[in-house]
């Protein structure tokens, strides 16, 4: 039974999900390169996944059969389950919560394709709509407070299947990275009365050296204190703390900008492994003037980090100014 455990020193929550892999030996197998030998996410293989939670389908196409464009299914090895009861329990200095939550997979296309950047802009927009739709739906479960939408692309980024997909984890607690980001943004706002993401956008646009794409609604840039080579963030220029409240025009433009960004990364780094994570405010707070949802992309082109895990200290061997220039200059064919 999965559970959430809290580190008593740092206040960091960890999901202990021993059902995912029952024996240490099985972990080794998980290291192997994703294979296209059998693709459970392919159209026609719908019975290889658990019954779908949601899909965009052609008119008349029945659930769990062909005829879909984007499909959401439960993770086969869920780290959390909505069926759990929310139980909180102390154990001396430790705290635990039963593993209640959602863990879903968004299958981004019915055909075999490893790079989201190769999907059409309409397909990417539909993926973003699915993200929004699932958040709106899960937000109704008042036990759940935080959504994390993320993508692991390539074995080096932790993907176990090559078919382009992303994942959604919704938890009953706010994980430490979001909590700290909220706290830092709130402190800036308290001190200076401004949204730090707005200040960042203004400074980056004035400076230009770290800008990758400047679209009407979004800034794409390599952040000043990038932890990873070619780390890239997409931030909406108009303040909004909750992604699930984005409007049609915002989602549509995000589709265009996300596709351009991923295509630039594919060209500049030769189809790299990467993770992206959507940071959005917790469900249970109103619109926060000090916070802006955004997407952080971490290419995984260098070897696995080592001491970073124990220090929080990253060594990045590519200055963000160098990365941004390479990405600005990367020119995917216009309509490929």
Q: Which residues are catalytic?
A: 165
Alpha-carbon distance of 284 to 145, in angstroms, equals: 6
Does the protein bind a second copy through residue 330 (CB under 8 A)? Answer: no
| 69/226 with CB nearer a second copy | 226
* Interface residue with a second copy, options 301, 325, 330, 332 (CB under 8 A): 301
Does the protein bind a second copy through residue 304 (CB under 8 A)? Answer: yes
Does the protein bind a second copy through residue 307 (CB under 8 A)? Answer: yes
Report H helices in 193-313: 196-207, 248-269, 308-311
Burial class (CB in 10 A: 0-12, 13-18, 19+), 249: exposed
* Interface residue with a second copy, options 302, 325, 330, 332 (CB under 8 A): 302
| 50/319 with CB nearer a second copy | 319
Does the protein bind a second copy through residue 143 (CB under 8 A)? Answer: no
- Convert 55-93 to b/e letters by CB count within 10 Å (16 or more is b): bbbeeeeeeeeebbbbbbbbbeebbbbbebeeeeeeeee
Does the protein bind a second copy through residue 44 (CB under 8 A)? Answer: no
Does the protein bind a second copy through residue 37 (CB under 8 A)? Answer: no
From 15-23, 53-61, 128-136, 244-252, give the range in contact with a second copy by CB under 8 A: 15-23
Size of the site for a second copy (CB under 8 A): 89
Alpha-carbon distance of 101 to 3, in angstroms, equals: 10
| DSSP for residue 243 | G
Does the protein bind a second copy through residue 211 (CB under 8 A)? Answer: no
Give yes or no for a contact between 332 and 262, defined as CB atoms under 8 angstroms apart. no
Instruction: Map the footprint of a second copy across residues 71-100, applying CB under 8 A.
Output: 79, 92-94
* Interface residue with a second copy, options 47, 199, 208, 287 (CB under 8 A): 199
Does the protein bind a second copy through residue 240 (CB under 8 A)? Answer: no
Alpha-carbon distance of 34 to 155, in angstroms, equals: 6
Does the protein bind a second copy through residue 196 (CB under 8 A)? Answer: yes
């Amino acid at each position: 039974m999965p559970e959430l455990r809290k580190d008593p020193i740092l206040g960091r929550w960890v999901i202990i999900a021993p059902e995912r892999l029952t024996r240490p030996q099985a972990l080794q197998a998980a290291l192997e390169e994703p294979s296209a030998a059998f693709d459970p996410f392919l159209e026609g293989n719908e019975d290889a996944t658990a019954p779908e939670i949601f899909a965009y389908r052609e008119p008349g196409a029945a659930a769990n059969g062909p005829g879909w464009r984007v499909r959401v299914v439960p993770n086969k090895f869920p780290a959390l389950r909505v069926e759990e009861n929310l139980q909180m329990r102390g154990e001396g200095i430790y705290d635990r919560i039963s593993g209640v939550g959602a863990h879903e997979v968004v299958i981004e296309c019915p055909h075999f394709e490893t790079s989201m950047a190769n999907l059409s802009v309409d397909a990417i927009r539909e993926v973003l709509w699915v993200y929004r739709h699932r958040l709106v739906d899960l937000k109704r479960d008042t036990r759940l407070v935080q959504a994390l939408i993320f993508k692991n692309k390539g074995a080096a980024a932790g993907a176990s299947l090559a078919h382009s997909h992303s994942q959604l984890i919704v938890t009953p607690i706010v994980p430490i990275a979001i909590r700290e980001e909220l706290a830092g943004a709130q402190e800036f706002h308290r001190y200076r009365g401004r949204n730090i993401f707005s200040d960042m956008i203004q400074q980056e646009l004035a400076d230009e050296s770290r800008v990758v794409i400047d679209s009407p609604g979004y800034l794409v840039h390599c952040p000043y204190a990038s932890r990873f080579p070619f780390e890239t963030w997409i931030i909406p220029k108009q303040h909004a703390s909750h992604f699930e409240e984005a409007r049609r025009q915002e989602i549509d433009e995000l589709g265009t900008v996300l596709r351009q960004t991923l295509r630039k990364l594919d060209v500049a780094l030769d189809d790299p492994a990467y993770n992206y994570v959507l940071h959005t405010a917790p469900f249970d707070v109103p619109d926060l003037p000090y916070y802006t949802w955004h997407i952080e992309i971490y290419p995984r082109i260098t070897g696995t980090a080592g001491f970073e895990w124990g220090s929080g200290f990253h060594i990045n061997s590519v200055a963000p100014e160098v990365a941004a220039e390479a990405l600005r200059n990367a020119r995917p064919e216009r309509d490929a």
